[in-house]
Amino acid sequence: MGAADHFFVVHVIYLRPFSEIDPLVAPHREHLDRLVADGHLLLSGPLVPRTGGLLLMRASGRTVIEGMLAEDPYARAQVARYEVLEFSPVKFSDELRAVFGGG
Amino acid occupying residue 43: L
**pLDDT tens digits, 9-42:** 999 999 999 999 999 999 999 999 999 999 999 9
CA geometry: angle 6, 10, 11, nearest 5 deg: 160
Alpha carbon distance 80, 99 (integer Å): 28
The residues, any chain, with a CB within 8 Å of residue 102's CB and separated by 6 or more, are: 89, 90, 92
Alpha helices in the chain (DSSP H): 18-21, 25-37, 62-70, 73-76, 97-100
Rounded to two decimals, what is the model's pTM? 0.90
**pLDDT tens digits, 41-80:** 999 999 999 999 999 999 999 999 999 999 999 999 999 9
Q: Which domains does the chain possess? A: 6-89 (3.30.70.1060)
